[in-house]
Amino acid sequence: MPTESPRIRAARLHTPGKPLVVEEIPPPEPGDGEVAVDMAFGGVNPVDRYMAEGRVAPDAPLPRTLGMEGSGRRVGDGRPVLVQGAGLATRRDGAWAGRVVVPAAALTDIPDGVDLAEAAAMGVAGVTAWRTATELARVTADDRVLVLGASGGVGSILVSICSALGARVWGQTGNPDKAGFVTAQGADEVVTAGPGDLAAAVEPLGPTVVFDALGDGFSAAAVEALGPFGRLVSFGVSAGPVAEINMQSLYRKGLTVHGYAGLIEPEERMAAGRAAALAALADGRLRVAVGQRLPLERVNEAFAALVDRAVTGKIVLELGGAGGA
């Protein structure tokens, strides 16, 4: 008699705004052009929480598995791969499950020697940091860089990249207890200033580039802090989405503002970014710090930690499909 395939665990969204439910579901079967992957780790990002709240992809099917990125091993040959893209967690089930089925285009080979937990952070945070630094800001050794939210998932990676590029790097964090972590990522100096005193605190640096994951009053302070012909790169609004900016300061200094739009970028550009970020991770130009590894059952705690800023670096979920290898 045929035996029923063992079921897999997955973190499922049933109702936007309600906690995710970790439940057992039938294992997916690959169709034409699809590949099955036994998952090891899933990265946790603010955008995943926005999906759970219904603020991103509000019309996506329900129930569905969430998780925009993860790492694991291809079923059949065991190759380590990063899983991201191709509508993962929006048009189709996401990565937070013991096994996933995705189009081949959603897979990026992970270089030899790269830890799977660290690789799980490359699809969103790693790509964001790599592309904003190298494609938008075009950071060089001549730059003086300020990273706002430098203890966070993307910010901490940005510190490592800009340091590797030879720039002078200062990191901002709201928690002085995290200063040592930011320094360990490569920052020359750490400031704990808020929006009201940020410009004065970083005046000795005279930033030529500011990376802004915070928004709200921090964006306005960044405009005041930047030197002539500086670049402001915005990729998040964890402090708030609305900023009142002195436009006279912006145009009189000749500033350039870049917005990073990873969710609407062409897939081929994102795929190239994933490969480049993984290569940089492999050769040390990029460092990712995994601050917490949580079992899948604690996925809602991971969301709470993001809100409370209770972790340094990245949070990853242990998915178990690849044995956490």
Both 208 and 143 in a single domain?
Answer: yes
Which amino acid is located at 119 in the chain? Answer: A
Residue 62 included in any domain: yes
H helical segments located in 146-246: 153-164, 179-184, 198-201, 216-225
- 56-88 as b/e, with b when 16 or more CB fall inside 10 Å? bbeebeeebbbbbbbbbbbbeeeebbbbbbbbb
Bond from prior residue into 228 cis (ω within 30 degrees of 0): no
Both 257 and 146 in a single domain?
Answer: yes
Both 246 and 146 in a single domain?
Answer: yes
Residue 154 included in any domain: yes
pLDDT at position 4:
55
Residue 161 included in any domain: yes
Residue 267 included in any domain: no
Residue 38 included in any domain: yes
Tally of domains in the chain: 2
Both 208 and 296 in a single domain?
Answer: no
Both 89 and 173 in a single domain?
Answer: no
pLDDT at position 78:
95
- 131-169 as b/e, with b when 16 or more CB fall inside 10 Å? bbbbebbebeeebbbbbbbbbbbbbbbbbbbbbbbebbb
233 has which bridge partners? Answer: 211, 258
Both 106 and 128 in a single domain?
Answer: no
Residue 24 included in any domain: yes
d(CA 119, CA 41): 9
Residue 54 included in any domain: yes
Cβ neighbours around 240 below 10 Å, total: 12
Both 244 and 297 in a single domain?
Answer: no
Domain that residue 90 falls in: 8-121+289-318
Both 27 and 99 in a single domain?
Answer: yes
Both 52 and 87 in a single domain?
Answer: yes
pLDDT at position 264:
87
pLDDT at position 3:
47
pLDDT at position 51:
96
CATH code of the domain in which 14 resides: 3.90.180.10
Both 138 and 256 in a single domain?
Answer: yes
How confident is the model over 91-135, as pLDDT tens digits?
Answer: 999 999 999 999 999 999 999 999 999 999 999 999 999 999 999
Both 117 and 128 in a single domain?
Answer: no
pTM: 0.93
pLDDT at position 321:
72
Residue 323 included in any domain: no
Both 150 and 111 in a single domain?
Answer: no
Question: Tens digit of pLDDT per residue, the chain (325 long)?
Answer: 444 568 999 999 999 999 999 999 999 999 999 999 999 999 999 999 999 999 999 999 999 999 999 999 999 999 999 999 999 999 999 999 999 999 999 999 999 999 999 999 999 999 999 999 999 999 999 999 999 999 999 999 999 999 999 999 999 999 999 999 999 999 999 999 999 999 999 999 999 999 999 999 999 999 999 999 999 999 998 889 999 999 999 999 999 999 998 888 888 999 999 999 999 999 999 999 999 999 999 999 999 999 988 889 999 999 987 654 4
pLDDT at position 323:
54
C-alpha closest to that of 49 among 98, 8, 94, 101: 94
CATH code of the domain in which 200 resides: 3.40.50.720
pLDDT at position 265:
87
